[in-house]
Amino acid sequence: MTNPAHKVLLNRDLRRAGFALLLMCALAMYIMPSAQAQTYTVLHNFQGQNSGIYPTSGVSIDRGGNLYGTTQYGGPGMNCYEGCGIVFKMSRHGSSWLFTPIYNFQGGLDGGNPGARPVIGPNGSLFGTTTQGGTGCLGMGCGTAYNLQPPPHASANVLGQWLETVLYRFQGGNDGASPEDADLAFDAAGNIYGTTLFGGQDIYYCQDGCGTVYELSRVNGNWTESILHAFFQTGDAMQPWGGVIFDQGGNLYGTTNGGGANRDGVVYQLIHSGSSWTENILYNFTGGSDGEGPYAGLMMDQQGNLYGTTCCGATNLNGSVFELTRSPDWAFSTLHAFGGPDGQEPLGTVVMDAAGNLYGTTSAGGANGWGTIFKLSPGSGGWTFTSLYDFCPGGYPCTDGAGPSGTLAIDAAGNLYGTTMNGGATGGGVVFEFAP
């Protein structure tokens, strides 16, 4: 019998994979030259199954300007549908970039099909999660949390595989299952915080559990999981796709895609007091002009205000960018409602530059129908929206990429880096750079 939790994930993944087929069959009906083509550069085209395919989660950037990301499929791992995925590194060499697969997931106990990008931990190594593999969940695995460290004597073996340690294997019960697109977070002591899409205690409304917020802490050399909150559909929320972030007081913040007072998702806060955590719902989405179904996590500015996106709903039913102002009392405002030609269905977390401008992507819409890069600039009269780039300006086969669904990374010079889950030279997605 197929695990219903993995049915949901498989259906989502098949829709993503089906996007590539749609590109292959599409008519060249969205042909439009791009005025910003000189600022957009494809850094890497994913070539196919063995080298990874469908990077869905964006990239992270380290202090040296190196990029790190994952592909959800592809690679030599044979124990997963369409391959078990890879972790890759991109480093600048003069005017070009070197692409290196640094780890190939094998499925099984090793983990497979990472839905989130790796993040750079306090010790400079990489931490991340896989949606499948590990143990439990009727043999498919409920996902893992992992750590990757560069190989010894890296200078003598630049292309060598990094060393993986599986920190935790989710069991699919109260401890959670299927960490999806969630970035991990760290406290000052190096403990790890994240979310799972399924698992937890509520199996009445959510057959496989409504999801959890968890902590991984190191005790005597081993990593131990603690559940900080298990979501309940009734009067609470359900299914957190995005991760959590900290404020300066040590409290956590995140979103759920569903549940809440109107079943359209929430923004929540977990207040830390001693050894316990208490949930506070900051906002219940209504499915109206405020939007519904946030998939992405949140970002916080220096004043403690929160910014996020909804995939759907809002004035034009194409999703929105929103702000929750800490004072007074977490006031909600919609900064932009997407209309279609300016983008639709933002799935990644927004990022902020040093001047306070917000940047993000939409997975669809735009002038050509295949997604956009956008900017929101603050001013005395409110926020000004600018569409920076429309993917697929030449139509099929979208050699510049199509369907960006992950979170952008921004370097010290303000350049943006990201991925598209489809398009490119072979239809398997790209890594791109955009200089606003």
Q: What is the largest CA-CA distance in the chain?
A: 60
Number of alpha carbons in the 13 Å side-chain half-sphere of residue 152: 0
Angle at 70 between CA 95 and CA 200, to 5 degrees: 150
SS3 state at 224: strand
> How far is Cα 314 from Cα 317, in angstroms, rounded to an integer?
5
273-299 pLDDT tens trace: 988 999 999 999 999 999 999 999 999
pTM of the model: 0.90
39-80 pLDDT tens trace: 999 999 998 777 899 999 999 999 999 999 999 999 998 888
> How far is Cα 2 from Cα 299, in angstroms, rounded to an integer?
36
Residues 102-110, mean pLDDT to the nearest whole number: 95
> How far is Cα 98 from Cα 60, in angstroms, rounded to an integer?
16
320-341 pLDDT tens trace: 999 999 988 999 999 999 999 9
**What does the block give as tokens for 185?**
């977070």
SS3 state at 74: coil
Banded pLDDT at 372 (limits 50, 70, 90): very high
> How far is Cα 260 from Cα 425, in angstroms, rounded to an integer?
42
Banded pLDDT at 237 (limits 50, 70, 90): very high
Banded pLDDT at 97 (limits 50, 70, 90): very high
163-178 pLDDT tens trace: 999 999 999 989 999 9
Task: Give the model's pLDDT for residue 65.
Answer: 96
Three-state secondary structure readout of 108-174: HHHCECCCCCCEECCCCCEEEEECECCCCCCCCCCCEEEEEECCCCHHHCCCCCCEEEEEEECCCCC
Task: Give the model's pLDDT for residue 16.
Answer: 46
Mean pLDDT, the chain, whole residue set: 89
Banded pLDDT at 430 (limits 50, 70, 90): very high
Q: Which residue has the higher pLDDT, 360 or 154?
A: 360
Q: What percent of the chain has pLDDT over 70?
A: 89
Number of alpha carbons in the 13 Å side-chain half-sphere of residue 370: 33
Lowest mean pLDDT among 139-143, 251-255, 362-366, 398-402: 139-143
Residue 22 pLDDT exceeds 60: no
**What does the block give as tokens for 339?**
């209309």
Instruction: Judge whether 156 and 120 are in contact, CB under 8 Å.
Output: no
Task: Give the model's pLDDT for residue 288.
Answer: 96
Residue 157 pLDDT exceeds 50: no
CA distances from 154 to 41, 76, 103, 127, 150 (A): 29, 22, 14, 19, 7
Q: What percent of the chain has pLDDT over 90?
A: 78
Residue 33 pLDDT exceeds 90: no
Q: Which amino acid is at 166?
A: V
For residue 266, give the H/E element and its range.
strand 266-273
Q: What's the order of all strands across the beta sheet hosting 372-379?
A: 351-352, 358-362, 372-379, 382-390
Whether the bond between 393 and the residue before it is cis, its omega within 30 degrees of 0, is no
